[in-house]
Chains A and B, each alone.
Chain A
Amino acid sequence: MSVSVHGFFGGMPLADHKAMAMQRPTQSIPVPEALYLPLKGHRHQPLDLHQITDHLAVSVGQQLAAGQTLTRGMGDAHPRLHAPVAGTFLGIVSRPALKDMGHDVPCLHIQTDRTQAPKKLPDDYPPNTPLPEITPDELMDHLQRMGIVGLGGAQFPTSEKMRQASGGIDTVILNGVECEPYIACDEALMRHRPGTIVLGGRLLAKALGAKRLIVAVEDPLKDSHGSVSDGFLACIQPHPLDPALDIEFIEVPSIYPQGAERQLIKTLTNQEVPFDGLPKDIGVICLNVATAASVADAVIENTPLTHRLVSITGPGIQNPCNVYAPIGTPVTDLIHQAGGFNCPESEIDLIIGGPVSGHTVSDQRSPIDKGSLCILALTRADRPNSVGSMPCINCGFCVSVCPAQLLPQTLFKLASQGAHEKAHQMGMMDCIECGLCAEVCPSHLPLLDWYRHSKDQLRALDMDQRRQALAKERFEARNRRLEQRQAEREARRQARRARLEANSSAQSEIEAAIARARQKKEGES
């Protein structure tokens, strides 16, 4: 099938190092001693303990079965969590956060039962598995109960994404493009379970009423086992079960950041998502392939999202591989599974995510969450940018690669001067944090860190402004209420006074009562 593939602005091909993690078969990790399930769906909404304890579905000391629901009804920003393995719930503890260096995150602490066998990556479904009968609303409620979130990193609840998009969706894109070097967890999944991915995509497409399902992968995904497309084409060619659905498999050129949602949509449909809109505005919904697979598992096998594939890779790792690990596994257990480091730990830069847009892991006790794709160990030699930075020379390399079509050097100058609001006017919030600008910067400026700092400042500012508006509203409402109450009281007082003055019978009654009292007094004396 020939498909026309378009391009997006900017971007740059990067050397991929996927083969490193793909050289070994996908492994299951032995059940870790303890799991810490991070209780933070979204990093900009801090949780307080009251909120968490109100929504716990288990009590401290309770025995847990594998797959048991741990939290419920925390709202959409905090999707449900389930016990990945059998064990005992020990309460809520603080663990170092994986991405926010120096911050802690509240976690559900589970002491695991170590006699159980680790869960293996489930087998693939045969290509012609019939779709179960399920209405769109049932599917969304079910996905919410099963804790399904976007597994590409953002962890946005899939049910919520579908609800926002329902009606008006024409194309469902399954994103199998992991354009960042080293990350290979989606490739491993696509080689093992193409049927599951397509089945999940068909379920989503049917529920959303889409007519087109696109599975997008990178073109150079070929190794000695053959292209990843062979597995998909077997699932795609015969689809007599959904004659109305047009399933396409498209290989896109490997130009970083091709896997970013907006860039992929531009490449596949030649339509741009509005900067202040969402893909649904142009009739497209884009989901990671791993999300589609977990949707299929949730519907057919009724399994909640408790495990994910993580790449443990990089030149600093002894045996790089993809690991099927329970959510909440500490990073140190994952590294141990991959044979540990092959050089002194002081030489290692440990990163969560890819080398270009990842975050530094400052503490190996941090547990992984549903959006952890890759634990990458780079040696100092691989990180030229850590040597120090020189002043910006206005070379403009960053402008030519920025896929969001921003002016990175201007944004850098504003952000580093603390002029975050001016940076906002220059489109700071449209930065997709791909990190290419910092990658090409000849002065090795830590541009991405500046943008993350500035974006967080802007979000905090926005929150403050909302709080201020709320306080003002409540203050004014209270003043109105007090004034009204005062006026009512005044009116009542006036009315009473008027009644007393006007009503002569009341006056005479009072006088009569006084006279009676006087008579009585005189009689006594």
Chain B
Amino acid sequence: MIPSVLILTLLTVSVVALILWVSRRWGANDDSVVEQIDALLPQTQCAQCGYPGCRPYAEAIASGEADINQCPPGGQAGVDALADLLGKESKPLNEEHGSHKPPVVALIDEDRCIGCTLCIQACPVDAILGAQKMMHTVLASECTGCELCIAPCPVDCIDLVPAQRPMIHPKPMSIDIRVQA
């Protein structure tokens, strides 16, 4: 009896050790979870969630510090995707952090710009070009529409305009024939 107990114990211990080693070696670590969450976030870097960018918010979600419904640019679809990834129940978007809006880009009214560079320092993705006492301009293709440049501007010369969207072929109108019984 003793040898069989010994063999079984040995087997159990070695299998557990193997599983532990494999999970350490190849298993999901914190970083890869953060990566996956970050991939679902819209990368607007708008800080509306309360964290200074998408990556910090992803880290906060991964550590359980932040909830999944704090990202207005991602909208309800983003919340659902996060819930799906993390195996949680989806919930409505938290309106405290802002509401979901169609995509916009910043546009500087170049006649009113005084060249103070405050917006350049605020831009999280370096999408504003300019220098001291020189007119500034927004690179529309790089702008994420985060609105962070609006508040620092002392002369209110930055507007948000709808982002240029590619044309989408309209959904066919359904003119279904209903067969009368």
**A residues bordering B, Cβ < 8 Å?**
43-46, 48, 97, 100-103, 387-391, 446, 449-450, 452-453, 455-457, 459-460, 463, 467-472, 474-479
Contacts and interface: CB of A to CB of B under 8 A. Distances in A.
A468 B144 CA distance: 8
B44 A477 contact: no
Nearest to A463: B166
Contact of B167 (A43, A391, A469): A43
Question: Which interface residue of B43, B54, B55 has the most chain A CB atoms within 10 A?
Answer: B43
Q: Give the size category of B's interface with A.
A: 20 to 34
B167 A100 contact: yes
B101 interface: no
B175 A389 contact: yes
Given A388-B177, A472-B38, A475-B45, 10 more contacts: A387-B175, A450-B172, A453-B172, A457-B168, A460-B165, A471-B45, A471-B144, A474-B126, A474-B127, A475-B125
Nearest to A477: B126
Nearest to A46: B164
Given A474-B127, A475-B125, A102 B45 contact: no
A449 B170 CA distance: 8
A452 B168 CA distance: 8
Nearest to A452: B169
Contacts of B177: 387-390
B43 A471 contact: yes
A101 B170 contact: yes
B166 A471 contact: no
Interface of B: 38, 42-45, 53-55, 124-127, 140-142, 144, 164-172, 174-177, 179
The 10 closest A-B pairs by CB, nearest first: A452-B169, A449-B172, A446-B172, A474-B125, A388-B175, A471-B43, A468-B43, A456-B168, A388-B177, A453-B169
Contact of B126 (A48, A387, A469, A478): A478
Contacts of B142: 470-471, 474
Given A468-B43, A470-B142, A460 B125 contact: no
A415 B73 CA distance: 24
B127 A475 contact: no
Nearest to B143: A471
A359 to B, nearest CB: 9
Question: Which interface residue of B55, B142, B167, B179 has the most chain A CB atoms within 10 A?
Answer: B167
Nearest to B56: A479
Given A388-B177, A389-B175, A450-B172, A471 B125 contact: yes
Contacts of B172: 446, 449-450, 453
Contact of A388 (B125, B126, B176): B176
Given A453-B169, A457-B168, A475-B53, A389 B174 contact: yes
Contacts of A469: 43
14 contacts: A43-B167, A48-B164, A390-B179, A450-B172, A452-B169, A456-B167, A460-B165, A460-B166, A460-B168, A468-B43, A471-B44, A475-B43, A478-B124, A478-B125
Nearest to A449: B172
Given A475-B124, A475-B125, A456 B166 contact: yes
B42 A468 contact: yes
Contacts of B179: 390
A457 B170 CA distance: 10
Nearest to B175: A388
B65 to A, nearest CB: 20
A101 B172 CA distance: 12
Nearest to B38: A472
Contacts of B164: 46, 48
A453 B176 contact: no
A456 B42 CA distance: 20
Contacts of B126: 474, 477-478
A97 B164 CA distance: 16
A449 B174 CA distance: 11
A449 B169 contact: yes
Nearest to B168: A456
Contacts of B174: 389
B165 to A, nearest CB: 7
